[in-house]
Structure 1
Amino acid sequence: MHNRRLAAALAVVASAALAGSLALVRPAAADTSLKQLAEGKGKYFGTALVQSNLSNSTLVGVATSQFDMMTPGNEMKWDTTEPSNGSFNFGPGDALVAFAQAHSMRVRGHNLVWHSQLPGWVSSLPSNQVQAAMETHVTTEATHYKGEVYSWDVVNEPFNEDGTLRQDAFYNAMGTGYIADAIRTAHAADPNAKLYLNDYNIEGENAKSNGMYSLVQSLLAQGVPIGGVGLESHFILGQVPSTMLANMQRFAALGLDVAVTELDDRIQLPASSANLQQQATDYSTVVSDCLAVTRCVGVSQWGVGDADSWIPGAFSGYGAATMYDQNYQPKPAYTASVNALGGSGGSSSSSPSTPTSSSSSSGGGGGGAACKVSDTVDAWNTGLTENITISDTGSAAVNGWRLVFTLAPGQTITNGWNATYSPSSGQVTATNASYDGAIAPGGSVSIGFQATHTGNAAAPASFSLNGQACSS
């Protein structure tokens, strides 16, 4: 089946590859491509493509040089793959899978069950026939692409904004159990694919993400083989939630992967220079949040550039939502993403959260190693996430650092980022990682950790850097 699929798509792939070789856009040196930098951090950086994109040589050049994960925009959705009951059409999806394989890109399968882009015959079925139709569809499609997709968005956008489940054809026929059934069915068809629930407006902590959190807790308790949660991340300029990192951490603490699956950041047109700089900050925040969470597996932008973005067609007066302009030239958001990933011209240590309290400068010796610490704690149930920013307010660079602080009674660190933490409770010493040991005068690094607590989620009362007290 796979060879036949590749052969069927060969002409499309060959023409796209040739076009890419004739007009390849490389906006950055090879060693600073998004995909290489992300891979160096154990992540991926992906994009979404539709079949018509493959004939655009400029778009193909950017896609193949910068991204290592591909999500089909429409070609695996129900209205394309099973437009009438029992009649399957995998040709468009096969073409995109073949393109991805030819360019060493993995594939995020998107999607198996969704209330939208659902052919009318499904909604018209008697309620006692919906489950069989869903299971047949999931089994047939997941089996067709078995071994060729990294993950599946098994159920897409199941929630209302208030955290209740949508009353769509599947819910109305099967109740809340349709989600567990869909995931189990997909797992039986392709046991090696990571199985996700995917939704928008669940990036920060709110009613909708709380609904998702409660659902996945229930699924895990039932032994349902869910593997991850996708945060779509269709943002409006300047509105990346300050709780996005904490939200990622709480899902990760359940043993789930998290992924930024459909990132864009729309701007009211025309976009000003200040708008583009804010967009760069937004992209940097999202990338940094993902880097700070071990189980955040990667970031995918929805589309390659502004010219192929869905935003102008969906949100009147808005656009300019991606890292590349109408001519597929990189925008400040691209540079900010490269910098956040540790590429040339920047650092991977930008703070992803707005501090709730900050210190004033503290004197001290150590060759001018005065320090300032700000920290923010996001707590829930018996867990917390703490983000700490260390700033050098002195006149000399810090080269190698140890930050000492005391955790509140009952707190125990379970995992951390950008530093090594020892011991896990009581008085803790955080020692720099190999990549963030130098802090220039006026510069800063951000570190953090996740911990359990027994009721006291307070931040440490004081911090010292290399033996010098920092106000906090």
Structure 2
Amino acid sequence: MTPLYPRLRQRRSRFGALAAGLAVTVAGTSLLALVAASSAQAATPLRTLAEAQGRYFGTALTVADLSNTGETTIANAQFDMVTPGNEMKWDTTEPSSGRFNFGPGDQIASYAASHNMRVRGHNLVWHAQLPSWVSNLPANQVQGAMDAHITTEVNHYKGKIYAWDVVNEPFNGDGSFVNDAFYKAMGSNYFAEALRTAHAADPDAKLYINDYNIEGQNAKSNALYNLAKSLLSQGVPLGGIGFESHFIVGQVPSDFRANMQRFADLGLDVAVTELDDRMQLPASSSGLQQQATDYGNITKDCLAVSRCVGVSQWGVDDANSWIDGTFPGYGAATMYDRNFQPKPAYNSTVTALGGSSTTTPPPSGGGALHAVGAGKCLDVPNSSTTAGTQLQIWDCNGQANQSWTRTSSGQLTVFSGSSQLCMDAYNNQTSPGTKVEVWSCNGGANQQWSVNSNGTVTSTQSGLCLDVTGASTANGALAELWTCNGGSNQQWTLS
């Protein structure tokens, strides 16, 4: 990974209206109740499970996220720690010398307090998102500016911050120091100066150095380890190390646990601070399962290290993650999909924390899939059993070509025995307008569907909604995937 990412700076605003409207019955059980239970909340939320283990489970939010009800519904239920995405960084809090702006950060802190969450302050000293006036200072003025900034900001939030990322991402990949304004002016002495200044302003806050690509034992993590030992030997109030943990599926270092343990053995807390686990798009079923394995193992690694205090995911859901806009061709990096539905990674995390995973997707069962706007049923034309037949809507008739079964693996099947076919997004395509067809069941991600509590049926692979083309109500109108928009032609009931 590279440091070229804007930390939740450019995020698409996407509202997931959690409106009622799905009245589905599967084998006599309300699917609405099942889906609602498995979407934003588990029977036991992550925060509760983590707290029972003496840990926390957190997320990152920006001010814009606070008005996104899809995100806050999940955050309120699941997380007990909040990291501000941008609102406490230097370019926001002190954009010009001596002129402070704490309004955005105050909104995050107020939200956290009102939802019984703690706050990880992020961050005080970082070479990125640093106003140009700091970088342009004469070298003999940098320490004074740094000390004043830290003192003012930490004093402002005194008593409201659990921990501060005092120094953020100070190392290059080879273990050398980033040659930023602070290092140029003070050399490596700026670490001790920053930490002591923050401690003087708020002695109760835990003080961290936070970095990425330090999860395994390598040149970068070795350099940080040696720095931490040196600081502690000088009596510097370093309290913890933050492992950002921006992973690619299947590439979590096998020595992550051992690496955290060696820092913990120095007497430091350790934390997973910015977890996500990206994969190439479109997401595949195997990718989602590997992501679940990764999330479960990361959680277990934290639990196995007594001084690992918690895990924070960087963001809430795939639609609002920074990954898509930063790593072209990659995404699907969180525990929640683009429609705020939990993914296999959510269930593996719940299990790792000692809970019982939710049933996602709901149990087997089914019936006719009614198009609410048209008052008709999703239909395989002429009862065709030919793979590639595009679906349509037609007057409901109770026949086998209109009877859909929701399987425990997330498929929607039609017919039975050797004739069984699955609802399929044509050719693994993920763009609006992709036709929805029947195809031989193969377990692919383009055959995985979420039946949601807001009345939509979405492709797990693309996040797009099952849609009646042109909002037509006529017999023979074709089914396709389209951007979710709340229209009646995207509302379905399965009964």
The answer to whether TM tops 0.5 is: yes
Aligned-partner residue type, residue 214 of structure 2: I
Give 2:186's match in structure 1, choosing from 151, 174, 177.
174
Hey, what's the Cα distance between the residues in 2 that align with 1:328 and 1:21? 13
Secondary structure of the structure 1 residue equivalent to 2:199: helix
Partner of 1:286: 298
Instruction: Return 5+ residue gaps in structure 2 as ranges.
Output: 1-16, 22-34, 359-495
The answer to whether the aligner puts 1:238 opposite 2:246 as a matched pair is no
> Which fold has the larger relative contact order, with Cα–Cα distance below 8 Å and residues 6 or more apart in sequence?
2
Give the C-alpha shift of residue 78 in structure 1. 0.2
Please show how residues 183-202 of structure 1 align to structure 2 within 5 Å. Answer: 183-202=195-214
2:99 aligned with 1:99 = no
Superposition misfits of 4+ residues, deviation over 6 angstroms: 19-25
Deviations 1:27-80 (A, max 9, x none): 265542110100010000000000000111111100000000000000000000
Instruction: Tell me, yes or no, if the aligned pair for 1:35 and 1:45 is still in contact at 8 Å.
Output: yes
Distance 2:156 2:209 in 1: 20
Which one of 339, 342, 345 corresponds to residue 351 of structure 2? 339
3-state SS, counterpart of residue 158 of structure 2? coil
Asked if the contact 1:114–1:158 (Cα under 8 Å) also holds between the matched residues in 2, the reply is yes
CA contact (8 A) 1:21 1:61 kept: no
Asked whether the 8 Å contact 2:40–2:74 carries over to 1, the reply is no
1:203 to 205, 215, 238: 215
Q: Counterpart of 1:32 in 2: which secondary structure?
A: coil
CA distance in 2, matches of 1:180, 1:228: 14
| Structure 2 SS opposite 1:153 | strand
1:61 aligned onto 2:66: no
* Residue 267 (structure 2) pairs with residue 255 (structure 1): yes
Residue 115 (structure 1) aligned to one of 127, 132, 148: 127
Q: 1:54 to 1:308 in 2, by over 3 A?
A: same
Match status 1:310 vs 2:322: yes
Give 3-state SS (helix, strand or coil) of 1:196's partner.
Answer: strand
- With over 3 angstroms needed to count, the CA separation of the structure-2 counterparts of 1:190 and 1:22, relative to structure 1, is farther
Deviations 1:331-364 (A, max 9, x none): 0000000010011159xxxxxxxxxxxxxxxxxx
**Deviation at 1:237?**
1.0
Equivalent of 1:271 in 269, 283, 293: 283
Cα distance in 2 for residues equivalent to 1:41 and 1:65 = 18
Structure 2 CA distance for partners of 1:22 and 1:61, relative to 1, 3 Å: farther
Alpha-carbon distance change, 309 to 28 in structure 1, aligned in 2, over 3 angstroms? closer
Which one-letter code corresponds to 1:54 in the other structure? L
1:136 correspondence with 2:165: no
Cα distance in 2 for residues equivalent to 1:144 and 1:56: 27
Match of 1:154 among 120, 142, 166: 166
| Contact 1:25–1:58 (8 Å) recurs in 2 | no
Matched with 1:327 is: 339
Q: For residues 143-172 of structure 1, what are the alpha-carbon distances to aligned partners after superposition, in whole Å with 9 as ceiling and x for unaligned?
A: 000000000000000001011111100000
Q: Who is 2:61 aligned against?
A: 49
What secondary structure is seen at the aligned counterpart in 1 of 2:279?
strand
- 1:237–1:265 CA contact under 8 A, matched in 2: yes
Identity over aligned pairs, percent: 69
- What's the CA shift string for 1:364-411, capped at 9, x where partnerless? xxxxxxxxxxxxxxxxxxxxxxxxxxxxxxxxxxxxxxxxxxxxxxxx
Which residue does the alignment assign to 2:48? 36
Secondary structure of 1:155's aligned partner: strand
Change (3 A) 1:52 1:22: farther
User: Equivalents in 2 of 1:192, 1:237: separation in Å?
Assistant: 37
> SS of the counterpart of 2:140?
helix
Instruction: For residues 266-305 of structure 1, give each alpha carbon's deviation from its aligned partner in whole angstroms, at most 9, with x where no partner exists.
Output: 1110000110000000101100000001100000000000
Judged with a 3 Å threshold, the aligned counterparts in structure 2 of structure 1 residues 43 and 165 are, in CA distance, closer, same or farther, namely same
The one-letter amino acid of 2:340's match is: Y
Partner Cα distance (2:339, 2:291) in 1? 18
Aligned counterparts of 1:55 and 1:28: Cα–Cα separation in 2? 16
SS at 1:112 equivalent:
strand
CA contact 1:248–1:293 (8 Å) conserved in 2: yes
* 1:228-270 deviation line (CA, Å, top 9, x unaligned): 0000000011100001000011000000000000000011100
1:79 touches 1:118 (CA, 8 Å); kept in 2? yes
Q: Secondary structure at the match of 1:255?
A: coil
Q: Note the 1:398-413 alignment, pairs <5 A.
A: none
State the Cα deviation string for residues 70-93 of structure 1 (Å, max 9, x = none): 000000000000000000000000
Larger gyration radius, structure 1 or structure 2: 2
Q: Classify 1:25/1:306 alpha carbon distance in 2 versus 1 (closer, same or farther; 3 Å).
A: farther
Q: How does 1:300-449 map to 2 (within 5 A)?
A: 300-345=312-357
Instruction: Give the secondary-structure state (helix, strand or coil) at the position aligned to 1:46.
Output: strand
In structure 1, stretches of 5+ residues that fail to align are 1-18, 347-472
Q: How far apart are the structure 1 equivalents of 2:132 and 2:232?
A: 32
Residue 189 of structure 1 aligns with an amino acid whose one-letter code is A
RMSD: 1.8
CA offset digits 1:146-204 (Å, max 9, x no partner) = 00000000000000101111110000001000011000000000000000000000011
Question: How far, CA to CA, are the matches of 1:29 and 1:221 in structure 2?
Answer: 45
Q: 8 Å contact 2:92–2:101 — kept in the other structure?
A: yes
- Supply the distance in 2 between the matched residues of 1:73 and 1:58 (Cα, whole angstroms): 17
